[in-house]
Structure 1
Amino acid sequence: MIQLNRLEAIALAVLALLAGITLGVPVGLWYGASHATAVGAAKLAELRRETAEASAAAVSAAAGKLALETARGDRLSAALSGAESHIDAISRQLINRVDHVTTVYREAPGAALKPIPQCVFTRGWLRDYNAAIGAAVPSAVEATGTLAQAPGAGIAAVGEDELAPAEIDAKSILTHQVEYGARNQKLEEQLNRLIDFNEGKDAQ
C-alpha cells in the first residue's frame, strides 16, 4: 500500500473537492431546470383545465338564461296576441252596433222610433278633431278626397271657411272612434308588454 505524506493527502483532497464542484454544478442546474419545467407545465395544464371548465360553465349559464328569457318573451308575446284578439273582437261588436245607435231614437220608453236628426259638424270642428288626435290637416285639394285618419272629408284647410259644413255624421264619427280606439288599445298593450319584459316580469 502506498503511503502518502501529509502534503500529498491534502493535495488529493483539494483535487477531489474541485472535481466534485466541477461535475456537481452542471448536474444540479440540469436537475433544477428539469424540475422547474415539469412544475410549470403541470401548473399550466391545471390553469388551462380550470379556464376551460370556467368557460364551459359560463356558456352553459348564459345558454340557460337565454332559454329562460326566450320562454318569458314567448309568453308575453302570446299574452299580447290574446289581448289584441280580444280588442279586435270588441271592435267588431261595436262596429256592428254603429247603425243601430246612430240611425233612430225614441224620446221616451215605449215611444215610437224616430230618425235621428242630422247633426251638422263644421269643417273647423273636423280640423280641430284631427289636430287633437295628431292627424295632419290636408291641403285644399286633399280636403276634397277621403281622409283615412279621420271620419269623413270636407276638412277645413288654411284659408277656407271653417264654419262651412263638413261631410260627416254621427255614424262616421263613431266608426272612426271605434277603429282609432282599438289601435290605441293595441299600442298600449304592446307598450305594457315591452315594459314588462324590460323589468323582468312574466305574463299575467
Structure 2
Amino acid sequence: MNGWLTGGAIAIALGASYLIDSYGYDRGHAEATAAEQAKLHALKEEHSDLRDQAAQDYQLAFKQQVTRANAAEERLMATLVELETLEEEISERIPDVTTVYRTAPQAAPVAIPHCVFTRGWLRDYNAALGATARVPASRTGTASAAAEEAAEPAPGSDAELLESGVSPADILAHARDYGAWARGNLAQLNGLLDLHNTPPEE
C-alpha cells in the first residue's frame, strides 16, 4: 500500500512539475513574443516617423526650390523686357545719330561725311567678336547688299582695303543686337547661379 501511495505521490509530483514547467514555458514564450512584438511595433513607428519627416523635408525643399525658380524667372523676364525696351530706343535713335552731326553746340546739323570701313576692317571686327564675315541686314535697313555679300579677304591682299559697304548705322545696329544677346545670356547665367547657390530658407 505504501508503495502505491509513494508511486502515486511521485506521479502527482511529476505531473505537477510538468504543469508548472509547461506553464512557465508558455508564460516565458508569451512574454518573449510580446516583447518582440513591442520592439517590432516601436521599430515600425520609428520608420513611419522617419518617412513622414523625410516627406515633409522633401516637400519643404521642393517648395523652396519652386519659389527660387519663380523668383529667378521673374528677374530674367524683367531683364529681358528692359533689354527689349533699350533695343527699341536705340533703334529709334540710330537714323538720327548716324546721318547728321553738329560741328559745335549751337551749330546747325549737317550731314555726316561718308565713313569708310574696309573689308579688312570688317574681317577683323568680326574675328574679334568670333562672328562670321557676313554682316546681317540691320533692322533699320541700312546694311548694304555689298556688305552682306562681301567675302572675307585674305590679310595683306588688295581686297582687304576695298570698301566693305558697312555704315556707322550698321555698326551701331550690330552693337545693339550683340549687346542684347550678351546681356540676355548673362541674365540667364546669373539666374541659374542664383537658383543653385541660394541657401534654403529657414
Counterparts in 2 of 1:14-93, with a 5 A limit?
A: 14-93=10-89
Q: 1:188 aligns with which of 179, 186, 189?
A: 186
**Map of 1:140 onto structure 2:** none
SS in 2 for 1:127: helix
CA positional deviation for 1:127: 1.0
The amino acid across from 2:82 in the alignment is: H
**Map of 1:103 onto structure 2:** 99
CA distance in 2, matches of 1:189, 1:23: 86
CA distance in 2, matches of 1:12, 1:96: 124
Q: Deviations over 1:58-111 (max 9, x none)?
A: 101210221122112101211111111111111111111111110011212222
CA distance in 2, matches of 1:41, 1:21: 30
Evaluate the alpha carbon distance shift between residue 157 and residue 27 of structure 1 in structure 2; reply closer, same or farther with a 3 A threshold. Answer: farther
CA distance in 2, matches of 1:17, 1:188: 96
Unaligned stretches of 5+ residues in structure 2: none
**Map of 1:121 onto structure 2:** 117
Please provide the CA RMSD for this pair: 2.7
**Map of 1:179 onto structure 2:** 177
**Conserved 8 A contact 1:155-1:166:** no
CA distance in 2, matches of 1:111, 1:127: 36
The amino acid across from 1:191 in the alignment is: L
CA positional deviation for 1:36: 1.4
Evaluate the alpha carbon distance shift between residue 62 and residue 201 of structure 1 in structure 2; reply closer, same or farther with a 3 A threshold. Answer: closer
Figure out how many residues of one structure are paired with residues of the other and give that number: 190
Evaluate the alpha carbon distance shift between residue 127 and residue 200 of structure 1 in structure 2; reply closer, same or farther with a 3 A threshold. Answer: same
The amino acid across from 2:25 in the alignment is: L
Unaligned stretches of 5+ residues in structure 1: 138-142
CA distance in 2, matches of 1:104, 1:136: 30
Q: TM-score, normalization: structure 2? A: 0.81
CA distance in 2, matches of 1:61, 1:169: 60
Q: Deviations over 1:163-187 (max 9, x none)?
A: 2210211011111111111111111
Q: TM-score, normalization: structure 1? A: 0.80
CA distance in 2, matches of 1:131, 1:104: 30
* Bigger shift: residues 112-121 or 165-174: 112-121
* Bigger shift: residues 26-35 or 100-109: 26-35
**Map of 1:132 onto structure 2:** 128
